Amino acid sequence: MFRGALITLEGLKHGYFIPREMKFEESRIDFCDFFFSQTFFNAHTHIADSSFMEAPRIDLKALVAPGGYKHRMLEKASLDELREDVMREVEFSRSCGTSFFLDFREGGMKGLKVVENIKPILPLARPLTVEEAEKIESFGFAYSSTRDHDFELLQEVKKIAKKKKKIFAIHAGEIDCGDVEKALELEPDLIIHMNMCEEMLNEVLEMEIPVVSCIRSNAFFGITNLKVYRKLSEYDLWLLGTDNAMISSTSMLDEMHFSSYLLGCEESIFKAATLGFEIFKVKSGFIVFNRKFNFKKTNDPLKTLVRRAVPLDIEAVFH
């Protein structure tokens, strides 16, 4: 049992965290021996890319589009190598407090084998055909830009997703607005990016589609857009993800730090890093932060968590 204060969007709640029962009980006494937080949900990863860290600084299309650097590297790598690197990345990020990874899996059924039975990963498959979509067992389906795929295939897979009650996600608005209209025509359950399509953002928000920002990834490619992020930070269905693991770690602590440097709005960032549990109906865990380092003299533990908490500050993580 740990006694301390739970960090929430409504403020601190003092009491006891009981690991065996995975619950927090409030008390009438103000304890601050430790600080607690729920764990984090990474709403967008390409986690198999962790096999190819230190990606070259080339443009977005050359690096990650179909036929680009990433896909060529994935074709060369063995399944055992990819799985080993994925499990290492998951272990690291789980130790930093990230419980789940909503992962875009390229390569149809073959691609799903990379993350098969790695439980923290919620795989969104990319079926290559309608027949494959009917057979695949996954958390849902997801595609890159509508520019990259046959639109009739996307429409059919969306129908299958609806029939199977699975989520359908797609990238849109990452470099311009050219793929947003078609993406909205699919009525997706989740959109990744929208950073470079401010003029159509209101349409997405009015449709109440959750949007995932991957701010470090956008910065890598020189396509950050503070106006869009600030607008999204006020949106009830805004989430954060880390995108390609060859560019950024899958640790949500890292993503929150960087986001807070650009935006401030620590409360919104904390919410965006945890909202996935509610939207995707999986259970969060608890992080126990010690008071030896960054939290030693904090006057605002939520700001400390979002801006500067590091693995040394973590006493334990319970998933």
Q: What is the mean pLDDT of residues 31-42?
A: 96
For a pLDDT cut of 70, what percent of the chain falls above it? 100
Rounded mean pLDDT of 126-150? 96
CATH number of 40-280: 3.20.20.140
Per-residue pLDDT for 161 more than 90? Answer: yes
CB-based burial label for 32 (10 Å; 0-12, 13-18, 19+): middle
Q: Which of 53-57, 134-138, 250-254 has the lowest mean pLDDT?
A: 53-57
H helix intervals, the chain: 60-64, 69-76, 79-95, 108-112, 130-135, 151-164, 180-185, 201-206, 215-220, 226-232, 252-263, 266-272, 276-280, 301-308
Rounded percentage of the chain residues whose pLDDT exceeds 90 = 89
- pLDDT recorded at residue 174: 97
Q: How far apart are CA 241 and CA 231, in angstroms?
A: 17
- pLDDT grade, residue 7 (50/70/90)? very high
Whole-angstrom Cα Rg for the chain: 20
pLDDT at 66: 82
Give residue 144's Cα distance to chain centre: 15
Largest separation between any pair of C-alpha atoms in the chain: 61
Q: How far apart are CA 69 and CA 117, in angstroms?
A: 27
pLDDT of residue 75: 86
Assign 52 a pLDDT band (cuts: 50, 70, 90).
Answer: confident
From the DSSP assignment, how many helices (H) and strands (E) are in the chain?
A: 14, 15
pLDDT band at 55 (very low <50, low <70, confident <90, very high): confident
pLDDT at 256 exceeding the cut of 90: yes
Residues 51 and 73: their CA atoms lie apart, in Å, by 9
Which region among 46-60, 85-99, 135-149, 288-302 has the lowest average model confidence (pLDDT)?
Answer: 46-60
Task: Decide the pairing of beta strands 40-46 and 167-172.
Answer: unpaired
